[in-house]
């Protein structure tokens, strides 16, 4: 077995073993720690071997079907490794933060991890898609069975939305396989064998339509406006590790798919004006409409859930800019957002467990008795509103700069640039709701009857881990950016 196969199958195996009765916490922790070491080691190795060319490495393939050509093929470059690293980091934190939970929590967290790793590390479109679907099943089930509040509504909503979204996506992917297979009539799902559709291909119009289908399919998975209304209820209802894994990791699959499949293979589609304009309007919906919706939230879970939808708009803006600056910013922000939102959901879960309520009007003054918690929450909250020095800012500023790269004074502001200026106002809106929430929960006089204490040293580890990642990447973004940019360039993105 190849290294990447082990990385994908290790959590799957651990899930199976815990489900069969092995000591859940020990097994899950051991597996996720080992996986962090493996991914970290492979990443470092990759950097020294392919730091200059950014090529797909650690490749290994097992043919499953010869016509159409489907393989269980794995491989990774800077982009895949960045997301794999995100997955193992969040998985470790999610597993670690589980205390006194049934084994099903461990099993499902590990299953989602395995699915996400499979999706990010497979180079065959069939398996890439299948692994994502695999990770969705435990997500749906856990929300339906162990969710909070209106869990049934939330569960059917996410199931229907993502189910329909996945079907649309499947159609789009089949379209890509159809257009881009190198020999007509001989379909291949091998991502690395597919050829980008040339600009003068007779199917240019279809390519635009196909790109749009992919945008809607992948976009639904990433809660692109107006296909977003599953996300906030689902995250608010989801058990904490599920919210961490889905909002932090699995959701990034849609963006990964756009960068890995849609943009390089259908460049003409992506550059079609009506597609670009549609994307800009949709992402403005994420940033402005969802920004105001977030502003209206009165509970912490609703606020985090909606703000997570809002922030997807910035990543889409990076993709919409159509240049290297924006795409690199988008990847950096995917990573940063995943870490910060996982941290915030983890802390939110802790507040819910200890206080029994997440309503702002009933909370207050927690910083007095829980200084560590308020510090770490502050790191997550300020990271998510783009405070420099923390990871999210580095991604955001690259994205903003990218949209002005082709500014021509003689043409005035294009729609892309107007969108950016409006999105900058979204940064102000984010600060308003986050600081309001922080003020209400942590500052002021402690409210009666709601006592919160700092976690034990051992329970601080996962919080510290995620906060430290935000700080390190924020101070030195090149740690990821160097390798991501050569890989994106090697993918053939412009």
Partner 1 sequence: MEPISLTGTVLLLPLASALVIMLFHSLLKNVAHLVSTGVSIVMFGCALIFLGAADQPNGLLLYEYLKVGNFTADIGFVVDQQSRGMLFIVTFIGMLVHIYSLGYMKDDDARARYFGALSLFMFSMNGIVLADNLVMMFIFWELVGISSYLLIGHWFKKPEAADAAKKAFLTNRVGDFGFMAGILILFGLTGHVSLAQLQGSMESGALNHIKDHFPWVITLAGLGLFLGAMGKSAQAPLHVWLPDAMEGPTPVSALIHAATMVAAGVYMLVRVYFIIGASHVTGDIIAWIGGITALMAALMATQQGDIKKILAYSTLSQLGYMVMAVGLGGPKEGMFHLYTHAFFKAMLFLGSGAVIYACHHEQNIWKMGGLYKKMPVTFWTFAIGTAALMGVPLMAGFWSKEGILAVAYPAHGHGNGILFAIAVLTATLTAFYMTRLVIVAFFGKARSKDADHAHEAPLVMILPLVVLAFPSVLAGYHFLAEPLQALVPSHHEGPEAKIVMGCSLVAVIVGFLTATRLYKNVDKDPVNIPLFANKFYFDEFYAGLVKYAQDRFAWLVTALERIIVDGLTVRLPAALANGLGSWMRGLQSGSLQAYTFVLGLGIVVVVYLAVFFSTKP
Token pair for 148: 């909070």
Cβ distance to partner 1 smaller for residue 201 or 397: 397
239 vs 269, beta carbon nearer partner 1: 239
Tokens 């091998």 -> residue: 190
Residue 409 CB, shortest distance to partner 1, in Å, is 4
CA distance 150 to 33: 34
Cα 109-481-136 angle, rounded to 5 deg: 20
Nearer to partner 1, 22 or 375 (CB): 375
- Cis-peptide into 205, omega within 30 deg: no
Work out the burial of residue 448: count CB atoms within 10 Å of its CB; fewer than 13 is exposed, 13-18 middle, 19 or more buried. exposed
Q: Which is nearer to partner 1, 151 or 197 (CB)?
A: 151
Looking at beta carbons only, is 30 or 435 nearer to partner 1?
A: 435
How far is 255 from 219, CA to CA, in rounded Å? 8
Given a contact cutoff of 8 angstroms between Cβ atoms, the answer to whether 337 and 307 are in contact is no
What are the beta bridge partners of residue 186? 183
Q: Minimum distance from CB of 368 to partner 1 (Å)?
A: 6
Say which residue the tokens 């004074």 belong to. Answer: 409
Min separation Cβ 365 and partner 1, Å:
6
Question: 75: closest CA among 493, 491, 494, 492?
Answer: 491
Q: Which two tokens stand for residue 82?
A: 């960045």
Token code pair at residue 224: 């692109």
Please state the closest distance from residue 11 (CB atom) to partner 1, in A: 11
Nearer to partner 1, 85 or 142 (CB): 142
Q: Which is nearer to partner 1, 182 or 389 (CB)?
A: 389
CA 172, CA 214: separation in Å to the nearest integer? Answer: 5
Q: Report, in Å, the least distance between residue 385 CB and partner 1.
A: 9
Q: Minimum distance between the CB of residue 99 and partner 1, rounded to whole angstroms?
A: 20
């Amino acid at each position: 077995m190849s290294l990447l196969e082990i990385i994908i199958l290790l959590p799957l195996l651990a899930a199976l073993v815990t489900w069969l009765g092995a000591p859940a916490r020990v097994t899950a922790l051991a597996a996720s720690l080992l996986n962090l070491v493996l991914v970290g080691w492979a990443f470092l190795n990759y950097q020294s071997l392919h730091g200059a060319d950014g090529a797909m490495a650690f490749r290994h393939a097992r043919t499953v079907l010869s016509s159409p050509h489907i393989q269980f093929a794995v491989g990774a470059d800077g982009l895949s490794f960045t997301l794999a690293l995100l997955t193992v980091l969040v998985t470790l934190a999610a597993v670690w933060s589980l205390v006194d939970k049934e084994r099903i929590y461990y099993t499902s967290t590990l299953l989602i991890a395995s699915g996400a790793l499979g999706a990010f590390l497979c180079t065959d479109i069939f398996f890439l898609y299948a692994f994502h679907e695999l990770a969705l099943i435990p997500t749906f089930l856990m929300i339906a069975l162990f969710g909070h509040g209106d869990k049934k509504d939330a569960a059917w909503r996410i199931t229907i939305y993502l189910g329909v979204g996945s079907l649309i996506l499947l159609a789009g992917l089949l379209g890509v396989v159809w257009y881009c297979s190198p020999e007509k009539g001989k379909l291949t799902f091998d991502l690395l064998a597919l050829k980008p559709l040339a600009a003068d291909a007779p199917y240019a119009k279809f390519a635009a339509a196909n790109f749009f289908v992919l945008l809607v399919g992948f976009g639904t998975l990433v809660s692109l406006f107006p296909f977003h209304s599953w996300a906030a209820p689902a995250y608010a209802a989801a058990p904490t590790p599920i919210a961490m894994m889905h909002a932090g990791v699995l959701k990034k699959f849609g963006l990964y798919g756009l960068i890995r499949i849609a943009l390089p293979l259908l460049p003409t589609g992506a550059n079609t004006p009506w597609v670009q304009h549609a994307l800009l309007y949709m992402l403005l919906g994420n940033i402005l409409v969802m920004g105001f919706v977030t502003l209206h939230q009165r509970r912490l879970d609703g606020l985090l859930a909606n703000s997570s939808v809002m922030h997807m708009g910035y990543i889409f803006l990076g993709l919409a800019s159509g240049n290297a600056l924006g795409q690199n910013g988008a990847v950096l922000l995917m990573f940063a957002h995943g870490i910060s939102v996982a941290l915030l959901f983890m802390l939110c879960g802790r507040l819910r467990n200890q206080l029994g309520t997440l309503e702002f009007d009933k909370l207050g003054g927690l910083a007095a008795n829980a200084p560590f918690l308020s510090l770490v929450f502050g790191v997550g909250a300020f990271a998510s509103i783009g405070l420099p020095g923390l990871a999210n800012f580095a991604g955001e500023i690259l994205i903003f700069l990218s949209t002005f790269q082709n500014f021509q004074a003689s043409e005035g502001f294009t729609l892309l640039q107007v969108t950016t200026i409006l999105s900058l106002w979204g940064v102000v809106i984010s600060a308003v709701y986050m600081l309001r929430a922080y003020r209400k929960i942590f500052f002021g006089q402690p409210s009666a009857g709601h006592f919160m204490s700092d976690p034990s040293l051992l329970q601080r580890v996962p919080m510290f881990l995620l906060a430290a990642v935000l700080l390190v990447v924020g101070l030195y973004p090149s740690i990821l950016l160097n390798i991501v940019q050569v890989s994106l360039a090697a993918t053939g993105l412009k």
